[in-house]
């Protein structure tokens, strides 16, 4: 098996951290294991040769990111967020939002389960002929994860926490897999976006999900991203992070609402 030299390893760790925020410094074996097949298919003998290819072929960067990102997720993950959406955010919106237009962003959406679950919650809440526009923007750096979100085909395991009536209503079984209906899929706009880059949106968001993404980021990248989220939220907008993540009071100005839920007050 081809081994990463120390120099190659530290070079790659630095490159990924600088451009994508992800800290791979403890993932040496994972890098070797996941990249081995790529090097093998290209008949390469060292990682240095691969890095040379990367310099000239930006599409190869997608292969690298597809291999090295952690994309594990499932429907209804961390259900208290979806309860909060249903019991707090949607009633607030119904009272105060005259445009009937909700702007939600699933940042680091992986294969789409988070955004699709939120759509199911909103469909349930508003009903079918509601007149509300609640399409969700869902972004990720991994083109493979986005292609899986686009396909909307999931293993049974991914649906284990979903209420059975939603499973029956929104999925068709195909062999051992479950195919998500267009009724849900069309409410989600998928896009590749690197959270470490400068990005702008025409209108601010009511809610941003960025769950289990920043856990792989170094503190500086995390603080910078939180400041971007703060700027991109409406006053009164919410940020959901993963349950194992916390936001320090001095970063960005978010108010703690309850575990892993923060709000922009002014």
Ligand X SMILES: C[S@@+](CC[C@H](N)C(=O)[O-])C[C@H]1O[C@@H](n2cnc3c(N)ncnc32)[C@H](O)[C@@H]1O
Question: Interface residues with ligand X (CB under 6 A)?
Answer: 20-22, 69-73, 77, 108-110, 114, 140-142, 145, 193-196, 211-213, 242
Q: Which is nearer to ligand X, 132 or 225 (CB)?
A: 225
Least CB distance to ligand X at residue 197 (A): 8
- Minimum Å gap between C-beta 74 and ligand X is 7
Of 44 and 215, the one with the shorter C-beta distance to ligand X is 215
- Whole-angstrom Cα distance, residue 207 to residue 97? 13
CA distance 47 to 39: 8
* Between 94 and 246, CB nearer to ligand X: 246
Q: Containing H/E element for 17?
A: helix 6-20
Q: Check residue 152 and give left, alpha or beta (phi > 0: left; psi -120 to 50: alpha).
A: left
- Over its C-alpha atoms, the chain yields an Rg (Å, rounded) of 20
DSSP conformation letters of 92-131: HHHHH-TT-B--EEEET-TTSHHHHHHHHHHHHHH-TT--
Name the residue nearer to ligand X (CB basis): 33 or 127: 33
The residue (of 77 and 123) whose beta carbon lies closer to ligand X is 77
Tokens of 237: 């907008």
Cβ 208 to ligand X shortest distance, Å:
11
Tell me whether residue 103 or residue 222 sits nearer to ligand X (CB atom). 222
Question: At closest approach, how far in Å is the CB of 68 from ligand X?
Answer: 9
Q: Are 155 and 115 in contact (CB under 8 A)?
A: no
Question: Helix-strand-coil percent breakdown of the chain, rounded to 5?
Answer: 45, 20, 35
CB of 148 to ligand X, least distance (A): 10
Q: Considering the complex, what minimum distance in angstroms separates the CB of residue 211 from ligand X?
A: 3
Query: Exposed (0-12), middle (13-18) or buried (19+): which is 153, by Cβ within 10 Å?
Result: middle
């Amino acid at each position: 098996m081809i081994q990463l030299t120390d120099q190659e390893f530290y070079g790659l760790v630095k490159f990924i951290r600088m451009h994508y925020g992800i800290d791979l410094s403890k993932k040496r074996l994972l890098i070797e294991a996941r990249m081995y097949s790529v090097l093998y298919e290209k008949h390469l003998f060292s990682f240095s040769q691969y890095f040379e290819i990367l310099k000239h072929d930006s599409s190869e960067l997608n292969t690298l990111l597809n291999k090295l990102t952690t994309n594990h997720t499932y429907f209804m993950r961390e259900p208290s967020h979806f309860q909060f959406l249903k019991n707090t955010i949607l009633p607030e919106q119904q009272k105060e939002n005259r445009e009937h237009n909700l702007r939600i962003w699933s940042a680091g959406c992986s294969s789409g389960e988070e955004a699709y679950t939120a759509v199911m919650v909103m469909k349930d809440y508003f009903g079918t002929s509601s007149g509300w526009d609640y399409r969700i923007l869902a972004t990720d750096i991994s083109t493979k994860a986005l292609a899986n979100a686009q396909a909307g085909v999931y293993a049974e395991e991914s649906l284990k926490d979903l209420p059975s009536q939603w499973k029956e209503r929104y999925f068709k079984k195909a062999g051992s897999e479950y195919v998500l209906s267009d009724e849900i899929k069309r409410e989600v706009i998928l896009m590749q976006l690197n959270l470490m880059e400068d990005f702008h949106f025409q209108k601010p968001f009511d809610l941003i999900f960025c769950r289990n993404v920043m856990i792989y980021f170094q503190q500086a990248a995390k603080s910078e991203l939180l400041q971007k989220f703060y700027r991109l939220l409406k006053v009164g907008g919410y940020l959901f992070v993963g349950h194992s993540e916390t936001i320090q009071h001095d970063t960005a100005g978010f108010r703690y609402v309850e575990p892993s839920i923060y709000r922009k007050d002014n």
